[in-house]
Amino acid sequence: MSPLPLYLAGTWTSGRGEPLASHNPVNNRVLAVVSTAGAADVDHAVAAGQAAMRNPAWRDLLPHQRAAFLHRIATLIERDAERLAQLQRQDNGKPILETRALVASAAGTFRYFAAVCETMEGDITPSRGNYLSLSTWEPLGVIAAITPWNSPIASEAQKVAPALAAGNAVIVKPSEFTPLLALELAKLSDEAGLPKGLLSVLPGTGASTGAALVAHPGIAKVTFTGGTATGRAIGRVAAEKIMPVSLELGGKSPNIVFADADLDQAINGVLFGLFSSQGQSCIAGSRIFIEESIYPAFTAKLAERVTALRIGDPVSERTQIGPLITPQHRDKVEGYVTLAREEGGRLLCGGTRPVDATLQAGNYFMPALIDGLNNRNRTAQEEIFGPVGVLLPFRDEDSLIAEANDSVYGLASGVWTGDFRRAWRIGRALNAGTVWINTYKQFSIATPFGGNAESGIGREKARDGLKAYMRQKSLYIDMSGRPIPWAD
């Protein structure tokens, strides 16, 4: 299989790195081989990005003209939506209903930031003299966007759309496991007529291409989504460069069920919150706190429902659980089930490879629930990033909050209760960037998203998501027409 070219400064070309194979997690067969970028390609992409930003054809565009490019990209994503969703299913292993939603969300993200770009305003600030004082916003420069494998195209859109809308150039480094959708996005941007050089897509490993991008002196900001260890390493480089960075990192989110909740609704929410995307989600509600009085009945019902989840080929619209991304990742998830047992946990369901002969070639893992642990156990503290949930009983609100917040992470959380005052109280007390009340994993591009503590720095989405790719400039304009008296 000859390597697919990468998208370097508006041209399709062979990169100078070692080609990488992307595998279909359903059977681990090679789906595509892609060319990867070496350090010289990174240099070229950065220089081209800087030149494209300086070019009046981009620099002097009015906001509504820049927005038109984003609208065109959105329209092309919508035109190719089914093809993109099918490709992503093969590249990543998520069930087709989920990949369709991700593609739709990517188009929506481009449209949203087109609108934000067109409607963004600066400020006339109160002056303290006979001058006009203004605060305006300008682009930062060339942005490095580094993304993980779990939600391709949606993750890339979440960075590329606001970065372009703000007037920057962007270089995307997709995950080595899922490079294909970022390359598709490059094709569509090219077709949309985006001026060449403004977008490059450079597949490669994090250790080579990713690290070269982060360290490059011409990169004005890194926007990163991925694991906390990688985020910390990028943060160190950013500190040396005095470079802004946004970090969307890991999580170990509590999903909390009170006895007064609508329990049918809560069960569906716990299932969806943890097991959609096979649990490979930063916001997975993987610590499930259940009020003591309903603990036995709720956990029994939950385990019954987990056992009934439909595991299978992601091509089917009925499939709820597809394969994990790689055999190595499945080993890691399996290792956590072993650890849970060593820590004294009891497996209520799943936690093994399936016996079904049709699933043997893929990285499948039966969704698991574990009880008998406490919140301090490693299984309850570390991000597993797979279909494994820890069940934890709680007695009262104070002990619940103390335990739910006892985590290095602070990304998301869920609260299930019929009492709106309690929902408000608990929602305010939880250390999390997002709290869902009687729902879970719902997203609006118009609502900020991001983590507290080791779940990251900064927020994406929403109107201020554009400003994350801009810096403020203050202007003072004399209105007196007279010389400054000091110099007389």
As separate numbers, helices (DSSP H) first and strands (DSSP E) second, the chain gives 16, 22
Q: Which of 91, 248, 291, 371 binds ligand NDP (CB under 6 A)?
A: 248
Q: Which residues contact residue 283 at a Cβ distance below 8 angstroms, ignoring those fewer than 6 apart? A: 251, 253, 273, 411, 412, 434, 441
Rounded Cα–Cα distance for residues 41 and 39 (Å): 5
What character string, x for contact with ligand NDP (CB under 6 A) and - otherwise, covers 158-187? ---------------x-xx-----------
349 is catalytic: no
Contact status: 250 vs ligand NDP (CB under 6 A): yes
Rounded Cα–Cα distance for residues 441 and 54 (Å): 40
Give least dist CB 152 to ligand NDP, A.
10
What character string, x for contact with ligand NDP (CB under 6 A) and - otherwise, covers 265-304? -----------------x----------------------
Which part of the chain contacts ligand NDP (CB under 6 A), choosing from 48-56, 57-65, 229-237, 287-295? 229-237
Contact status: 147 vs ligand NDP (CB under 6 A): yes
Nearest-10 crossing angle of helices 63-79, 96-119: 170
291 in Cβ contact with 448 (< 8 Å): no
Contact status: 385 vs ligand NDP (CB under 6 A): yes
Choice between 35 and 230, CB closer to ligand NDP: 230
Out of 176, 248, 383, 460, the active site residue is 248
282 is catalytic: yes
Rounded Cα–Cα distance for residues 118 and 98 (Å): 30
Contact status: 233 vs ligand NDP (CB under 6 A): yes
As a whole number of Å, the CA-based R_g of the chain is: 24
What character string, x for contact with ligand NDP (CB under 6 A) and - otherwise, covers 386-425? -------------------------x--------------
Rounded Cα–Cα distance for residues 50 and 46 (Å): 6
- Phi, psi dihedrals of residue 99, rounded to the nearest 5°: -70, -30
Give least dist CB 110 to ligand NDP, A.
18
Contact status: 320 vs ligand NDP (CB under 6 A): no
Q: What is the dihedral of CA 378, 381, 385, 390, to 10 degrees?
A: 80
Among 283, 305, 239, CA closest to 443: 283
> What is the contact surface with ligand NDP in residues (CB under 6 A)?
146-150, 173, 175-176, 205-207, 210-211, 214, 225-227, 230, 233-234, 248-251, 282, 383, 385, 411, 451, 456
What amino acid positions are annotated as catalytic residues? 248, 282
